[in-house]
């Protein structure tokens, strides 16, 4: 769990740097590489972290209306 400059817990994968920027970091399951991004505001950082983690876990297949039954079953 990361902390901000005042010592408060920010959550898993999020911390605050000495220059005041917030950073979010996680290891991608698809590539195995670290993904990291910096933000001036904590809310932006949390939103990007949640969206990026979701896209990493579920981003492989796009469930559209013209998907075949076999593709949907594999999905």
pTM for the structure as a whole: 0.73
Instruction: Provide the token pair at 33.
Output: 């590489």
Domains, the chain, in order of start with CATH, read 2-59 (3.30.730)
Alpha carbons 37 and 67: distance in angstroms, whole number? 34
The residues pairing with 24 across neighbouring beta strands, listed in sequence order, are: 14, 37
pLDDT at 61: 55
Instruction: Provide the token pair at 70.
Output: 């076999």
Distances (CA, A) of 7 to 15, 28, 45, 59: 10, 27, 18, 34
Q: Tens digit of pLDDT per residue, the chain (75 long)?
A: 788 889 889 989 999 999 999 999 999 887 889 999 999 999 999 999 999 999 888 875 555 667 778 877 876
């Amino acid at each position: 769990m990361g902390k901000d400059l005042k010592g408060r817990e920010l959550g898993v994968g999020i911390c605050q740097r000495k220059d005041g920027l917030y950073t979010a970091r996680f290891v991608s399951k698809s590539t195995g590489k670290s993904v990291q991004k910096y933000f001036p505001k904590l809310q932006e950082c949390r939103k990007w972290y949640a969206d990026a983690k979701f896209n990493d876990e579920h981003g492989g297949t796009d469930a559209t209306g013209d998907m075949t039954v076999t593709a949907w079953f594999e999905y």
